[in-house]
């Protein structure tokens, strides 16, 4: 039997200003009909370029240097554009990472799916069917991906739907042509844990029902493990290891795979740190550094309806602890974090920092107070000004908040780079010359420049690769003991929360569902919501940390 | 959508009042005693005083403002000193010529600018893109009056292809008044000869007026198209097998049209202002020319009238742009 998809010694260069970059270096991958193949790799490993090449939508200025891709016996390596119309979207189709940006905002769902159907009918040369027929087929597809009320959805726009629904719609579009191969490019990365589990379930059920062949790429080895029977590990443009997913998880051969697996936080393993921490803590030393009392944020829309983002939350963060806030998107955790620093004005309630009520402060006293509390944002790629050097970025809070001389600021910036374990010469560099992990370290260095007492970290690792995430988490813990810091740590990733937080609150729709000692919550969750959250998190986490 | 439109109409009224207040203030802070100006250089103090009372200029500023606004509401823009006819009547007589010129220029700007911008984006950095780049930079840089005179010299004087100036030759009888737009009225009357003549007359001034507008529409549309074509949903549309033509001409263009529309709205107002120059060069009997000749004879009521008229058209155009925005983008309809 010939393979459905056969990639042989495929080498691809991308032409840049500084000459060609070797993005794919001799890829060999065979996919048979009915296979579910996962490709794991971190950002920059070339996995997206690889699958896009399979669809003939590789990056601009790219050039195949060697090797070939054949699909169902046909060489599609340098297929002319007009021949692609019979394959792309029909026989091979694709779903994407971020369902928020992959749907055209100005067209209805029905229009977008009908258009795909029409394009396929045209490509098949059978003439475009009637509007009504396409509508019927569209609703059938929407039903197939488990969306309720297809006839209403037909005339809705993307912005009216949730992330999970949009991802289902993208899957429906991909299924419109009854494809042989479905390529899933990080289909769950941008989704909440519970929705992630649902989408993975949907893909699995479609594989069974429609006998789909699936190629799924992800940096999340847990997601891969729930869908793919076989898997390949990509690293710097090469496949370093491939085989049965179970085997790779249990007996990783390549050194990179071993590192990658070791870095995945396990939701079911209690961190060793906890024991050490308890013995260190001296009773009585721990007062509350930050308290919130009855904090509330209500947004009023123009039409006059109120939306309560955060509803009467009270919490107390002890000096020196890592205070975790966990919840799904829309639970109000980021709003809460920003209110604690008064980056967003609370509608009502008090914020008490080190015994002082800061909710009434304004002007200079508020500015002074902000020296003691700093914020680290989710996405280090957008948190740094691309036109400022790293040295400028780190020195900025010093220039604003102190009257230190230029030379002192420079010296301090160097010292800070040293603290975050980056070479001091980095101060001359620009953000685009740094990797994601390095940028997040720079953001942390900037946040600790004024010797704050409290750091609020809003999803500090979710934009980073897993191995980088592990490094940053370790580093944050070291830094805390070195500088006597207190953290408020926000995350949607339960495994990460368990790994580093002492005390945790679980948020849902602007309210605290459950709070307590982190271990307590994970070992004996009291609320149904917490249980379901942990269960969904466990699904992918367990798959990745398989113990057979 | 209806409440949205209604709210837009309310803001339209509010802005109109603002413009009226502004023009009133400007005419009152301008140097010179209007009564003395009206009376002329040889008038006696008595005559000036009479005129002052007659025009209500002896009242306090707030009182004058209330009177002025009251007149505006009744559609009274005052009387021209030179022609002694009501300003509103004169403005209404000249407005169609200007609007016709602006509409034709706008039409050229959109019909040429949008597709050229689109093509420049699709073939970015290609030969076409380079040509349109030079074209649009000159469009913004060349002064209108100079460009107008140049076109007159080449096409009217040297080549004798097109008339130098005016709307219609003196001997031609204008078609029966319906809209005041000669191109439309002559078609309604079924008079194709007049249509053809007025088209020949309007083409040069319209080109001059549209050139900078076309250039900026082209550049904005190009920049937006480039950005939209790189967006995720375009990649997705390609992956789903939608044809390249459909992606560019429908999926991407609709998204890129939003900022382009904003530019069109702004340029519309700019064009109305520019007619002052273009109409003077081409002797086009519109409100721009009317404003210039009134200003030259210190007849300030018509100048205010024209300002109000241009302001009104500008606001209407931008309200239409806002409505078009909501029509194109479903996310704006709720607001």
Q: Which residue of chain B is at minimal alpha-carbon distance from A303?
A: B335
Q: Does the CB of B251 have a partner CB in chain A at under 8 Å?
A: yes
Query: How far apart are alpha carbons A464 and A219 in whole angstroms?
Result: 10
Long-range contacts made by residues A241-250, C-beta under 8 angstroms, separation at least 24? A242/A29, A245/A38, A246/A546, A246/A548, A249/A221, A249/A225, A249/A543, A249/A544, A249/A546, A250/A546, A250/A548
Q: Give me the percent of chain B exceeding a pLDDT of 70.
A: 97
Residue B124 lies in a domain: yes
Please indicate whether, in this complex, the C-beta atoms of A88 and B238 are within 8 angstroms of each other.
yes
Of A88, A101, A119, the CB nearest to B232: A101
- Provide the pLDDT for residue A451: 86
Residue B220's pLDDT band, with cuts at 50, 70 and 90, is very high
Give A537's DSSP letter. H
Closest CA of chain B from A93, distance in Å? 6
On the question of a common fold for A5-263 and A273-372+454-544, the answer reads: yes
pTM confidence score: 0.75
Q: What is the pLDDT of residue B31?
A: 64
Mark yes or no for CB contact A116/B241 under 8 Å. Answer: yes
Q: Residue A433: its pLDDT value, please?
A: 80
**For helices A436-447 and A406-419, what crossing angle results, to 10°?**
130
Mutate to test the interface with A, among B4, B241, B257, B325 (most CBs of A within 10 A): B241
pLDDT at B108: 93
* For residues A503-509, average pLDDT: 90
Q: How far is CA B131 from the centre of its chain?
A: 27
Q: Rg for chain B (alpha carbons), in Å?
A: 24
- Is residue A303 scored above 70 in pLDDT? no
Q: Domain coordinates of chain A in residue numbers?
A: 5-263, 273-372+454-544, 385-451
- Residue B328 pLDDT > 60: yes
The number of angstroms, rounded, from the C-alpha of A150 to the middle of its chain's C-alpha atoms is 29
Run of H or E residues at B299: none
Put simply, the answer to whether B330 touches A176 (Cβ < 8 Å) is no
Instruction: Decide: A124 and B272 in contact? Cβ < 8 Å.
Output: no
- Output the domain CATH number for residue B206: 1.10.3720.10
Q: Confidence class of residue A274 from pLDDT cuts 50, 70 and 90?
A: very low
Q: What is the mean pLDDT of residues A74-102?
A: 84
Q: With an 8 Å Cβ cutoff, is B335 touching chain A? A: yes
| pLDDT at residue B335 is higher than 60 | no
Q: Is the CB of residue B1 less than 8 Å away from at least one CB of chain A?
A: no
Question: Exposed, middle or buried: residue A481 (CB in 10 Å: 0-12, 13-18, 19+)?
Answer: exposed
Residues A497-514 as b or e (16 or more Cβ within 10 Å = b): bbbbbbbbbbbbebbbbb
Query: Which of B231, B239, B256 best probes binding to A when mutated, by most A CB atoms within 10 angstroms?
Result: B239
Q: Which domain holds residue B185?
A: 87-333
| Mean pLDDT within A351-360 | 85
Mean pLDDT of A419-425: 84
The answer to whether the beta carbons of residues A298 and A309 sit under 8 Å apart is: yes
B244 contacts in chain A (CB < 8 Å)? 81
Residue of A nearest to B257 (CA): A106
Above pLDDT 90, what percent of chain B?
A: 14
Q: What is the pLDDT of residue A37?
A: 92
Task: List the helix and strand counts (H, then E) for chain A.
Answer: 21, 20
Nearest chain A residue (CA) to B327: A106
- Residue A275 binned pLDDT confidence (cut-offs 50, 70, 90): very low
Determine the distance in angstroms separating the CA of A295 from the nearest CA of chain B, rounded to an integer.
28
Integer CA distances (angstroms), B150 to A500, B104, B106, B154, in order: 75, 20, 21, 6
**Spatial CA neighbour of A541 closest among A498, A477, A491, A490:** A498
pLDDT higher than 80, residue B298: no
- A122 and B255: CB-CB below 8 Å? no
State the pLDDT confidence band at B117, using cuts at 50, 70 and 90: very high
On whether residue B63 sits in a domain, the answer given is: no
Average pLDDT over residues B104-112: 93
Q: Is A45 helix (H, G, I), strand (E, B) or coil?
A: coil
Decide which of A314 and B68 is more confident: A314
Which residue is closest to B258 within chain A, CA to CA?
A: A106
Interface probe for B, chosen from A49, A61, A83, A106 (most Cβ of B below 10 Å), is A106
Confidence of residue A302 (pLDDT cuts 50, 70, 90): low
Residue among B121, B236, B252 with most chain A CBs within 10 A, to mutate: B236
Residue B221 counted as domain residue = yes
Query: What topology is assigned to A273-372+454-544 in CATH?
Result: Rossmann fold (3.40.50)
Given a cut of 60, is residue A147 above it in pLDDT? yes
Indicate the DSSP class of residue A242: E
Q: Contact A103/B233, CB-based, under 8 Å? A: yes
Of B233, B239, B331, the CB nearest to A94: B239
Tell me: pLDDT of A284 over 80: no
Chain B residues with CB under 8 Å of A177 CB are 241
* Closest-CA distance of chain B to residue A377, Å: 24
Question: Quick check: is B44 in a domain?
Answer: no
- What DSSP string runs through B44-95? -HHHHHHHHHHTTTTS-HHHHHHHHHHHHHTT---B-TTT-SBHHHHHHHHH
Gap between the terminal Cα atoms of chain B: 9
Which residues in chain B have Cβ-Cβ distances shorter than 8 Å to A89? 239-242
Q: Is B27 inside any structural domain?
A: no
Residue A462 distance to chain B (closest CA, Å): 21
Q: Does any domain span residue B328?
A: yes
In this complex, do A177 and B241 lie within 8 Å of one another by their Cβ atoms?
A: yes
How many structural domains compose chain B? 1
Say yes or no to pLDDT of A279 above 50.
Answer: no
Tens-place pLDDT, residues A14-29? 877 777 888 888 899 9
- Give the gap in angstroms from C-alpha B159 to the nearest C-alpha of chain A: 47
Rg (alpha carbons) of chain A, rounded to whole number = 25
d(CA A112, nearest CA chain B) in Å: 9
A173 with B240: Cβ contact below 8 A:
yes
- CB-nearest to B242 from A102, A119, A159 is A119
Question: So what's the ipTM on this one?
Answer: 0.73
Considering only CB atoms, B331 lies closest to which of A103, A159, A177, namely: A159
Instruction: Say yes or no: B235 contacts chain A, CB-CB below 8 A.
Output: yes
- Is residue B224, in this structure, part of any structural domain at all? yes
Of the candidate ranges A118-132, A146-160, A512-526, the one whose mean pLDDT is the lowest: A118-132
- In this model, does residue A101 exceed pLDDT 90? no
Find, in chain A, the residue whose alpha carbon is nearest to that of B245. Answer: A119
Contacts with A106 from chain B: Cβ below 8 Å = 254-255, 328-330
Point out the least confidently predicted range of A369-378, A441-450, A466-475, B169-178: B169-178
Smallest Cα distance from B202 to chain A, Å: 37
pLDDT at residue number A542 = 61
Residue B104, pLDDT above cutoff 50: yes
Chain A interface includes B10 (CB < 8 A): no
pLDDT for A194 beyond 90: no
Instruction: Tell me how close the Cα of A174 comes to any Cα of chain B, in angstroms.
Output: 7
Average confidence score pLDDT of chain B: 84
Chain B, 255 to 294: residues with Cβ < 8 Å from chain A are 255
- Nearest-CB residue to A88 (from B239, B254, B328): B239
Tell me which residue in B236, B255, B328 faces A96 most closely, judged by beta carbons: B236
Looking at beta carbons, which residues of chain A come within 8 Å of B241? Answer: 85, 88-90, 93, 116, 119-120, 123, 177
Taking only the tens place, the pLDDT of each residue in B186-207 is 888 888 888 888 888 898 999 9
pLDDT at A276: 41
Cα torsion A104, A93, B123, A15 to 10°: value is 120
Average confidence (pLDDT) over B87-104: 89
Q: Are B263 and B325 in contact (CB under 8 A)?
A: no
Minimal Cβ distance to A57: which of B239, B254, B330: B239
Q: How far is B326 from chain A (nearest CA, A)?
A: 10
- How confident is residue B112, by pLDDT bands cut at 50, 70 and 90? very high
pLDDT of residue B43: 76
Whether residue B82 lies inside any domain: the answer is no
B232 to chain A, closest Cα gap in Å: 5
Residue A547 has pLDDT above 50, yes or no: no
DSSP type of residue B124: T
Tell me the mean pLDDT in the region B281-302. 84
The distance of A76 to chain B (nearest Cα, Å) reads 15
Over residues B263-287, the pLDDT tens digits come to 888 888 888 888 888 888 888 888 8
The CATH H-level (homologous superfamily) assignment of domain A5-263 is: P-loop containing nucleotide triphosphate hydrolases (3.40.50.300)
């Amino acid at each position: 039997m010939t393979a459905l998809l056969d990639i042989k010694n495929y080498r691809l260069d991308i032409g840049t200003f500084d000459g060609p970059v070797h993005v794919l270096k001799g890829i060999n991958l065979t996919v048979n009909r009915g296979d579910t193949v996962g490709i794991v790799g971190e950002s920059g490993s070339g996995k997206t370029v690889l699958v896009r090449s399979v669809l003939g939508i590789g990056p601009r200025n790219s050039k195949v240097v060697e090797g070939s891709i054949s699909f169902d016996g046909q060489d599609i390596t340098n297929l002319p554009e007009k021949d692609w119309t019979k394959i792309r979207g029909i026989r091979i189709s694709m779903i994407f990472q971020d369902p928020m940006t992959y749907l055209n905002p100005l067209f209805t769902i029905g229009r977008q799916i009908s258009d795909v159907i029409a394009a396929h009918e045209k490509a098949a040369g059978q003439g475009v069917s009637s509007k009504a027929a396409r509508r019927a087929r569209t609703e059938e597809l929407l039903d197939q991906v488990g969306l309720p009320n297809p006839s209403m959805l037909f005339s809705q726009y993307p912005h009216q739907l949730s992330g999970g629904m949009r991802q289902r719609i993208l899957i429906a579009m991909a299924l419109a042509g009854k494809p042989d191969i479905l390529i899933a490019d990080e289909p769950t990365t941008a989704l909440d844990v519970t929705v992630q589990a649902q989408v993975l379930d949907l893909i699995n059920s479609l594989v069974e029902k429609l006998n789909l062949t699936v190629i799924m790429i992800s940096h999340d080895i847990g997601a891969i493990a729930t869908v793919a029977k076989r898997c390949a590990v990509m690293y710097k443009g090469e496949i370093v290891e491939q085989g049965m997913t179970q085997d790779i998880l249990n007996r990783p051969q390549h050194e990179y795979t071993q590192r990658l697996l070791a870095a995945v936080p396990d939701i079911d393993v209690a961190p060793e740190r906890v024991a050490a921490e308890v013995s260190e803590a001296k009773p009585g030393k721990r007062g509350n550094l930050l308290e919130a009392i009855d904090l509330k944020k209500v947004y009023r829309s123009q039409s006059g309806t109120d939306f309560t983002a955060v509803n009467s939350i009270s919490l107390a963060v002890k000096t020196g602890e890592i205070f975790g806030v966990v919840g799904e998107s829309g639970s109000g955790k980021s709003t809460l974090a920003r209110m604690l620093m008064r980056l967003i004005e609370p509608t009502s309630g008090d914020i008490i920092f080190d015994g002082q009520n800061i909710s009434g402060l304004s002007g200079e006293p508020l500015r002074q107070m902000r020296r003691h509390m700093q914020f680290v944002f989710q996405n280090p790629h957008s948190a740094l000004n691309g036109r400022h050097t790293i040295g400028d970025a780190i020195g900025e809070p010093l220039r604003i908040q102190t009257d230190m001389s230029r030379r002192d600021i420079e010296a301090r910036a160097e010292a800070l780079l040293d603290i975050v374990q980056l070479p001091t010469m980095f101060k001359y560099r620009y953000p685009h010359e740094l990797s994601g992990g390095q940028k997040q370290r720079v953001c942390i260095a900037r946040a600790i420049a004024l010797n704050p007492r409290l750091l609020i970290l809003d999803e500090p690792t979710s934009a980073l690769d897993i191995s980088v995430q592990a490094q940053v988490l370790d580093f944050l813990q070291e830094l805390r003991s070195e500088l006597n810091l207190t953290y408020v740590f926000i995350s949607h990733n339960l495994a990460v929360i368990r790994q580093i937080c002492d005390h945790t609150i679980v948020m849902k729709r602007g309210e605290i569902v459950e709070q307590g000692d982190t271990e307590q919550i994970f070992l004996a969750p009291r609320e149904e919501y917490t249980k379901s959250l942990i269960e969904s998190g466990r699904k992918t986490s367990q798959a990745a940390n398989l113990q057979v | 959508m209806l409440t949205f439109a209604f709210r837009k109409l309310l803001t339209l009224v509010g802005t109109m009042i603002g413009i009226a207040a502004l023009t009133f203030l400007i005419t009152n802070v301008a140097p010179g005693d209007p009564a003395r100006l009206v009376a002329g250089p040889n008038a006696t103090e008595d005559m000036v005083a009479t005129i002052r009372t007659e025009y209500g200029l002896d009242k306090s500023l707030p009182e004058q403002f209330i009177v002025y606004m009251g007149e505006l509401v009744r559609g009274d823009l005052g009387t021209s000193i030179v022609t002694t006819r009501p300003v509103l009547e004169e403005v209404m007589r000249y407005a169609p010529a200007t609007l016709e010129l602006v509409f034709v220029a706008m039409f050229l700007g959109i019909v040429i600018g949008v597709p050229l911008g689109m093509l420049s984006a699709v073939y970015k950095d290609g030969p076409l893109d380079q040509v349109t780049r030079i074209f649009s930079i000159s469009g913004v840089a060349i002064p209108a009056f100079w460009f107008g005179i140049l076109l007159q010299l080449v096409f009217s004087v040297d080549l004798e292809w097109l008339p130098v100036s005016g709307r219609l030759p003196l001997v031609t009888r204008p078609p029966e008044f319906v809209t005041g737009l000669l191109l439309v009225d002559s078609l309604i009357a079924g008079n194709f000869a007049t249509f053809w003549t007025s088209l020949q007359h309007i083409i040069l001034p319209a080109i001059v007026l549209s050139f900078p507008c076309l250039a900026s529409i082209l550049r904005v549309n190009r920049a937006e198209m480039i950005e939209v074509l790189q967006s995720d949903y375009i990649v997705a549309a390609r992956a789903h097998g939608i044809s390249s033509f459909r992606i560019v001409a429908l999926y991407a263009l609709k998204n890129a049209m939003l900022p382009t529309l904003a530019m069109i709205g702004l340029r519309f107002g700019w064009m109305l202002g520019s007619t002052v120059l273009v109409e003077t060069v081409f002797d086009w009997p519109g409100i721009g020319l009317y404003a210039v000749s009134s200003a030259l004879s210190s007849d300030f009521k018509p100048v205010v009238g024209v300002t109000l008229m241009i302001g009104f058209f500008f606001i209407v155009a931008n309200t239409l742009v806002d409505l078009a925005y909501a029509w194109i983008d479903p996310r704006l309809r709720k607001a």
